[in-house]
Amino acid sequence: VSTQSTGTACRDSLIRSWDYKSKGTINLIDKYEHHNDWVNSIFYTHKHDLLFSGSNDTGVKIWDASKGFVMSSLRTHRDYVKKLAYAIDKDIFASGGLDRKIYVWDVCTLKCLTTNNNTVSTAICDGHKDSVYSMSINSIGTQLVSGGTENFIRMWDPRACTKVGKLKGH
């Protein structure tokens, strides 16, 4: 994966990296195989050359994108992981899914952040009454929004895992 490529993932449990720098030509660069169920969400960090993936196998995997191997597997979710969201300037990301939980992670340490010391692996943004299907975080990691089947968009401060508000009408 590079600035001239893109990644795709789907229910065949594979992640594919595609080269699109040649005019009109898209070529398969690599396949990443380590999930055993649908891959629902991926993102890539150029800064660290890491690929992150969330899957129905309940795992979040961190890949060395250059070498194509899994460096770490995060197994905190109890149900499908549906969405990952990355704050590029803060180097944190969030994972959310059908277990109604959102976990906030430090990309560099790969540990779950807490309000106490930012290294303990038990913090969650908890408050969804149903599954989390969509999520976005701003680039500096101060605002997170999430949505599911409840007809609300929930707003969070991911630094403290606290609810900030909710938007009705979705």
pLDDT bin (cut points 50, 70, 90) of residue 118 is very low
What confidence score (pLDDT) does residue 165 get?
94
C-alpha–C-alpha distance, residues 132 and 140, integer Å: 22
Whole-model pTM: value is: 0.86
Confidence label for 111 from pLDDT (cuts 50, 70 and 90): low
Write down the residue that tokens 């969030």 correspond to.
Answer: 94
Going 69 to 74 to 79 to 84, the CA torsion angle's sign is negative
- Residues 118, 74 contacting (CB under 8 angstroms): no
> Average pLDDT of 34-43?
90
Q: What is the pLDDT of residues 47-95, one digit of tens each?
A: 888 999 999 999 999 988 888 888 888 888 999 999 999 999 999 999 9
Q: Which residue has the tokens 């109890």?
A: 78
Q: Which amino acid is at 103?
A: Y
3-state secondary structure the chain: CCCCEEEEECCCCEEEEEECCCCCCCEEEEEEECCCCCEEEEEEECCCCEEEEEECCCCEEEEECCCCEEEEEECCCCCCEEEEEEECCCCEEEEEECCCEEEEEECCCCCECCCCCCCCCCCCEECCCCCEEEEEECCCCCCEEEEECCCEEEEEECCCCEEEEEEECC
In angstroms, the CA 154 to CA 150 distance is 10
Pairwise CA distance, residues 38 & 56, whole Å: 5
The rounded percent of the chain whose pLDDT value lies above 70 is: 89
